[in-house]
Amino acid sequence: MPLRIGNNISAINAARNLNKNSSDFTKRIERLSSGLRINRGADDAAGLAVSEGMRSDILRMKQAVQNASQGTSLIQLAEGSLNEVSNILPRMRDLAVQSSNSTYNDYNRESLASEFNQLIQEVDRIALSTTYNDTVLLTGFGNSVEQDGEMSTSLDGFAGATEIGISGAVPGTYIFSDTSAEDNQITLSIQLGDGTTLTQSIDVGGSLDRDNGQNLVATGTTFLANFDRLGIQVTLVGPEVDDDTEALRSTMADAGAGGDFIIGDQSVAIAAGDTLASVADQLHTVLTGLTPPGSSTFDVTLNEIQIYTAGHDVSGSGAEALGLIPANSYVDGRLNGKTIVITEGAGGSLQVGPNDGSNNRIEINIGDMRASGNQLNLNGLSIANQQSARSTISRLDTAILAVARQRGVLGATQNRLQYTSVNLENTIENLQAAESSIRDADVAEEVSAFTRGQILTQAATAMAAQANALPQTALTLLQ
């Protein structure tokens, strides 16, 4: 082998290996001291991107667990207050039953009415004072159903629906499709702002009776149509359940024998055999002129006149010829085209997921539980005389049921939040394990590599020293 002093190739080779081993040795020290395999993008660019996304998800899910816990606290607060309302309403009912008895005179009833009125005020006070973080909960919290029949037309008194409950339903206008009177299918859908359409169909055949060629809710009973994927529950009723005489419908194919149709202080002469469409127009002209005004429309699909009397008395041979009956009972096909309008309220939305989107939120809906609210509807109740006391009993029964139903919804949501929290904690655990496998250092592997690097670095240092000493042997040739 030639002996050259211009370039010490052995020293260059030893220095190259020393630099390589030193770099690897330094990396092992960094990983063992930090506990991470990836400390910078250069360590594993793809792995860094994936693990950073997982870290972000983990942090957001931890916050979601806290959100669910706080939501549970909010529900417990509201439900606790409603528990007291549940205790008050039966006492009010007892007072109404007591006042209905003929052994008491109106003077005695004044004392009963005094307590009754105080309890109504206490219901309002509880509703107004139940707050969470300065937000009143029992005067309407979260989304709510528009009760105006002109907007939520499924509540107009002609569709067979008496009540709509929501649990997590998004705001917007929901439309029923109930086109066939024979398929026992009801479809409810809504189109969201982003163009997405949510829809659900349910088969109600198992709950309907067959009567006179029609599928309908049985007489005297109710049926809950539960659109669970949309978060909407619709109570449908059969004949003789909702006997509100302000909403009437015809049951004849035409005006029959005709006659005088008397409504309020007005009379309409109906010609024998006149068409229902023509009769509806005549009645509408008179009804709209009354105070308060009513209405009359002809439904082509159902071939019936739908009359809203606005509280005015209806009588006469013309009314008998039309075969008027209370309109609000469900027959297959009556919901077609009807709507439910859900308005967005303050609060009521719990963020229990790491991302935006309805599947990452749980909606809490609490109705207006004041005595004057549309849930309890205790306005104008009195037990100051026997007649009013008796009519109060059924109103209180409805209010007791409304409170129980609201408490049930809150309890169900609370149980759901518990499962949500457990699921989030499981997801956090699994994501943490996945992130650890990508980013954390394997200590056993790194210690082995560290020991190897330490030995090679020391050996390379020694060999560099030996290589640098090699050219000095050329001096012996000059002696």
Condensed to tens digits (0 to 9), the pLDDT of residues 140-167 reads 888 888 888 888 999 988 988 988 888 7
**pLDDT at res. 204:** 83
Parallel, antiparallel, or unpaired for β 314-315 and 144-145? unpaired
Is there a contact between 36 and 435 (Cβ–Cβ < 8 Å)? no
Task: pLDDT band for 466, please (50, 70, 90 cuts).
Answer: confident
**pLDDT at res. 474:** 67
Is there a contact between 314 and 248 (Cβ–Cβ < 8 Å)? yes
Close Cβ partners of 395 (under 8 Å, ≥ 6 residues apart): 377, 378, 381
Task: pLDDT band for 2, please (50, 70, 90 cuts).
Answer: low
**pLDDT at res. 120:** 94
Q: Which of 51-55, 108-112, 383-387 has the lowest mean pLDDT?
A: 51-55
Q: Which of 135-139, 164-168, 337-341, 366-370 has the lowest mean pLDDT?
A: 164-168
**pLDDT at res. 405:** 85
Q: Provide the b/e sequence for 162-172 (b: ≥16 CB within 10 Å).
A: bbbbbbbbbbb
Rg value, the chain, Cα:
39
Name which of 25, 17, 16 is nearest 449 in CA terms: 25
What percent of the chain is predicted at pLDDT more than 70? 97
Q: Which of 329-333, 421-425, 461-465 has the lowest mean pLDDT?
A: 461-465
Is there a contact between 268 and 261 (Cβ–Cβ < 8 Å)? yes
List phi, psi (to 5°) of 392. Answer: -70, -30
Average pLDDT over residues 334-350: 86
Is there a contact between 305 and 297 (Cβ–Cβ < 8 Å)? yes
pLDDT at residue 55 is higher than 80: yes
List phi, psi (to 5°) of 251. Answer: -125, 5
Long-range residue pairs from 195-198, CB within 8 A, at least 24 positions apart, any chain: 198/170, 198/229, 198/230
Average pLDDT over residues 209-217: 80
Rounded to the nearest integer, the mean pLDDT of the chain is 86
Task: pLDDT band for 3, please (50, 70, 90 cuts).
Answer: low
pLDDT at residue 4 is higher than 80: no
Lookup result for tokens 């009972």 = 329
List phi, psi (to 5°) of 182. Answer: -130, -10
pLDDT at residue 258 is higher than 60: yes
What percent of the chain is predicted at pLDDT more than 90? 30
**pLDDT at res. 131:** 92
Parallel, antiparallel, or unpaired for β 266-270 and 325-326? unpaired
Domain boundaries, the chain: 9-35+441-478, 143-242+333-344, 247-326
**pLDDT at res. 62:** 93
pLDDT tens-place string over residues 69-123:
999 999 999 999 999 999 999 999 999 999 999 998 888 889 999 999 999 999 9
Q: Bridge-partner residues for 135, per DSSP?
A: 132
Task: pLDDT band for 420, please (50, 70, 90 cuts).
Answer: very high
CA dihedral of residues 246, 250, 256, 260 (deg, nearest 10): 10
Is there a contact between 306 and 247 (Cβ–Cβ < 8 Å)? yes
Give the whole-angstrom CA distance, residue 451 versus residue 461: 15
Is there a contact between 68 and 421 (Cβ–Cβ < 8 Å)? yes
**pLDDT at res. 1:** 55
Q: Which of 98-107, 339-348, 395-404, 427-436 has the lowest mean pLDDT?
A: 339-348
